[in-house]
């Protein structure tokens, strides 16, 4: 895929996920989570933590989650879409070597 088209597609996916995030009800802990992508045994998630009074707090975090082990493999606080795009690309590349593994949907 062309890098420019891929870049625009990534921006669109992140923006759509952020809109979905804002439209779902908070859990008991106040955390909202949406899935961006599932690859093999991994899921890339967007997480919004409850608003804090801290100036400069991130808009959301992206997380690479191992569905089998039920643990976070990597995460990134995102203050803007450019940071989120870089994290999404990094997480996707980490899962590329395990793309032959059957897809498992996370049940968290």
Q: Could you count the other beta carbons within 10 Å of the beta carbon of residue 11?
A: 15
- For residue 68, which of 30, 36, 32, 95 has the smallest C-alpha distance? 95
Rounded to 5 degrees, what are φ and ψ at 49?
-90, 160
User: pLDDT class for 2, splitting at 50, 70, 90?
Assistant: very low
Q: At what angle do helices 81-95 and 3-23 cross, to 10 degrees?
A: 110
- For residue 65, which of 42, 99, 46, 88 has the smallest C-alpha distance? 42
Residue 53, pLDDT score: 55
User: pLDDT class for 8, splitting at 50, 70, 90?
Assistant: confident
pLDDT digits (tens, 9 = 90+) for 19-69: 999 898 877 777 899 999 888 889 999 998 776 556 677 889 999 999 999
> Residue 88, exposed/middle/buried by CB under 10 A (0-12, 13-18, 19+)?
buried
Give the residue extent of every domain in the chain.
3-98
pLDDT digits (tens, 9 = 90+) for 65-92: 999 999 999 999 998 889 999 999 899 8
């Amino acid at each position: 895929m062309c890098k420019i088209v891929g870049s625009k597609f990534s921006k669109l996916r992140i923006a759509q996920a952020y809109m979905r995030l804002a439209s779902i009800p908070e859990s008991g802990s106040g955390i909202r989570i949406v899935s961006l992508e599932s690859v093999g045994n991994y899921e890339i998630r967007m997480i919004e933590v409850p608003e804090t009074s801290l100036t400069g707090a991130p808009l959301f975090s992206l997380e690479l989650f191992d569905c089998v082990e039920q643990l976070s493999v990597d995460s990134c606080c995102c203050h803007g879409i450019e940071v989120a795009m870089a994290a999404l690309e990094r997480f996707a590349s980490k899962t590329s070597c395990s793309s032959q593994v059957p897809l498992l949907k996370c049940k968290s």
